[in-house]
Structure 1
Amino acid sequence: MPAAKKKQKEDDQGPTILQGVYMFPNGDKYDGEYMMSPGGSLERSGTGKHITSDGTVYTGQWVEDKMHGQGKIIFPSGATYEGIFVNNQFQGRGKYVFPNGSFYDGEFNENKLEGDGNFTDTESQIWSGTFRYKAAPGLRFKLNL
């Protein structure tokens, strides 16, 4: 059960949304909006922050206990992703920053770089084109004059 119930929103057409802090048995911590499922278990729903026991931090939207909507995840390695999530996966437009500071800003599909985007390397050189997971045929170098 949640450690603290901060507020409760009643919606005429939906379930009761609660807000509080929940500590999971594995050491994970959730602070945000949730609802109780018909079976009596907590289901993250709305806006919240989840911190895993290994230090991964997700802040954003939740639907049916899944990262879904706009959010940001920070990994222990220092890598980050900010953008759209669908069913716990990077999906749609987003930006992934690698631990070395290089980053990809573009389209994602099921956690993969998939579609139009730009990759900026550690020398701030920008490569633009269509990405297909681990391949990117026909990338164009953007010259900054």
Structure 2
Amino acid sequence: MLVHNHGVEVYKISFIFPNQDKYDGECTRTLEGSLERNGYGVHTTPSGIIYKGNWNNDKMNGLGRLEHPSGAVYEGEFKDNMFHGIGTYIFPNGAKYTGQFNENKLEGQGEFTDTQGLEWDGRFHYTAAPGLKLKLEM
């Protein structure tokens, strides 16, 4: 299917890569004539990783959701295939972090809910969180 978007032809494709990854979604043609993932699409791998979201220049860019078979889920902003911006990461053990990410690292203001359901907030730098405070609902 062909859709016109600001003079750019957007194709809806279903494509299986040589490694058996599958992409269903929108793409555009580069000047060289190859197809590039651009727009909204769903990418799945044989191992069970699923990404649903926005693509730009053949990379995960913009808002999306990435699910791993381990149970880990990231939902939020992506930049060039990395968690970057504001997002929520749920760990396989059920713990959850919501806040700022910088190139796949937890960095900046955030909130962490541990496996016991206790909420902590503070500034995160990589995975260390100096000055983390327990957030109690009174």
Normalising TM by the smaller chain, what interval? over 0.9
How far residue 53 of structure 1 moved from its aligned partner, in angstroms, is 2.2
Aligned to 1:3: none
1:82 aligns with 2:75: yes
Count the aligned residue pairs.
138
How far residue 135 of structure 1 moved from its aligned partner, in angstroms, is 1.2
1:128 aligns with 2:118: no
Return the TM-score normalized by structure 1.
Answer: 0.91
How far residue 39 of structure 1 moved from its aligned partner, in angstroms, is 2.3
2:56 counterpart letter in structure 1: V
**Which of 9, 13, 16 lines up with 2:3 in the alignment?**
9
Q: Deviations over 1:85-116 (max 9, x none)?
A: 01111111000000011100000000000000
How far residue 144 of structure 1 moved from its aligned partner, in angstroms, is 2.1
1:10 counterpart letter in structure 2: H
Aligned to 1:18: 11
Aligned to 1:66: 59
Question: What stretches of structure 1 of length at least 5 have no aligned partner?
Answer: 1-6
Aligned to 2:48: 55
Q: CA RMSD in A?
A: 1.0
Q: In 2, Cα distance between the equivalents of 1:95 and 1:14? A: 35
Question: What stretches of structure 2 of length at least 5 have no aligned partner?
Answer: none
Return the TM-score normalized by structure 2.
Answer: 0.96
Runs of at least 4 residues of structure 1 off by over 4 A?
A: none
Q: In 2, Cα distance between the equivalents of 1:36 and 1:42? A: 5
Percent identity, aligned pairs only, is: 51
